[in-house]
Amino acid sequence: MKKMLLFLILPLFMCASMSLAQTLTVGTYGVTPRDVEKDSVAKYFDRAYNSLQNVGKETKVYLKASISTKFASPVWSITSKPGGSVVAFGATKDIDTSNQVISFIPDKVGTYKITVTDGALSATITINSSLFVGTQVGACYVCHNGAFRPVGVPLYSKWSQTGHATMLERGLNGTLSDHYGESCISCHTTGYDKLANNNGFDDYPFTFPDTLMPGMYDSMKTAYPQAMALANIQCESCHGPGADHYGAITDSKMVKSLDADNCAWCHDEGTHHFIPESASFSRHSNPTTLARGSSADCAPCHSGSGLLKAEKQN
């Protein structure tokens, strides 16, 4: 009798354990310009995306749902969106039986909550759609140069000493490259997206100069002040637009990310910028059993957060 009872209970226990073990997650799915080029035939990935949850209005966003076993019948829904939005999903793309990608383009400024379900499992992600404002006195500078977040740390001043902060300036002044051209400015400005109306650099008048020489950058600032307020690779290029931020971080109103996709949408441009593509074939991206990520000496370089911590301590 006991054996019969055991045979009856055991399958139920195993099914319950399998059900408890299943997990469903949803996250962003970065797409580089090189990925767009590779997908030129199928044309599913037709726009680059840096994988941030804080994006410019009308940015094309790709999301990926992943299940620990195998999808049965995943269903996507937009559970919250700004008033007046008529946003709709694009087609889905199955990466494999456990991973599915979907896209959407936020048509209004505000918060979007997207949920994916598969049977009893569900997962939700929040995307914030906003406008770019530019790194100027009265914006990022006020709070992030030691006054508030974090207190005493001059983040703005540190950024201003980087190559990002003067990228377009050096390009227009003729000191960055002898073959600098108009095609370079999409990555050397903030909020640039010809298919989006997001208050980015390209949403304002600007004519690329015929001659690059010292002083040209200042001349462009005088001629095109609105566009040039978004010149160079500013804070919002890596953290997303800040019009809804000003201290607020709920609902992805401001984000920070160490995901390589955030860098790759410019540094994996497809023709002469290919650092992420090269790295993807290296031991760094494909560690073997000989990788020493658990070693106290090696660990800092085997995670983004560990490397930043190590650099701050030096």
pLDDT one-digit tens code per residue, 100-153: 999 999 999 999 999 999 999 999 999 999 999 998 755 788 888 888 878 888
Give residues with Cβ within 8 angstroms of 8, minimum separation 6.
none
User: How far is 49 from 28, CA to CA, in rounded Å?
Assistant: 9
Structure tokens at 154: 């001059």
Beta strands in the chain (DSSP E): 24-28, 54-56, 61-67, 75-80, 93-96, 99-104, 110-118, 121-130
- pLDDT class of 14 with cuts at 50, 70, 90: very low
Task: Measure the CA–CA gap between 77 and 85, rounded to whole angstroms.
Answer: 14
Tokens in use for 245? 């931020």
Instruction: Tell whether the model's pLDDT for residue 33 goes beyond 60.
Output: yes
CB 230 within 8 A of CB 200: yes
What is the average pLDDT score of the chain?
A: 86
* Domains of the chain and any CATH numbers: 22-130 (2.60.40.10), 140-240 (no CATH)
> What one-letter code names the amino acid at 12?
L
Q: What is the mean pLDDT of residues 279-291?
A: 54
Tally of CB atoms within 10 A around 54? 25
Tell whether omega for the bond before 150 is within 30 degrees of 0, i.e. cis: yes
Side-chain half-sphere exposure of 97, counting CA atoms within 13 A:
4
Q: What is the mean pLDDT of residues 68-90?
A: 97
Q: With contact defined as beta carbons under 8 Å apart, do 198 and 58 qualify?
A: yes
Cis previous bond, 11, omega within 30: no
The residue whose two tokens read 């010149």 is 231
CA distance 265 to 225: 26
Stronger pLDDT, 29 or 296, i.e. the higher one: 29
Q: What is the number of other CB atoms lying within 10 angstroms of the CB of residue 184?
A: 17
Q: Cα Rg for the chain, rounded, in angstroms? A: 23
Q: Can you point out the beta strands (E) in 189-233? A: none
How high is the pLDDT of residue 6? 44
**What is the helix (H) or strand (E) element at residue 309, kind and residue range?**
helix 304-313
- CA distances, 34 to each of 69, 167, 277, 282 (Å): 30, 22, 8, 18
Distances (CA, A) of 3 to 10, 17, 63, 199: 10, 21, 49, 71
Q: What are phi and psi of 273, to 5 degrees?
A: -110, 115
In terms of residues, how long is the chain? 314
Per DSSP, 49 falls in state B
Full-model pTM: 0.85
Tens digits of residue pLDDT in 203-254: 999 999 999 999 999 999 999 999 999 999 999 999 999 999 988 999 999 9
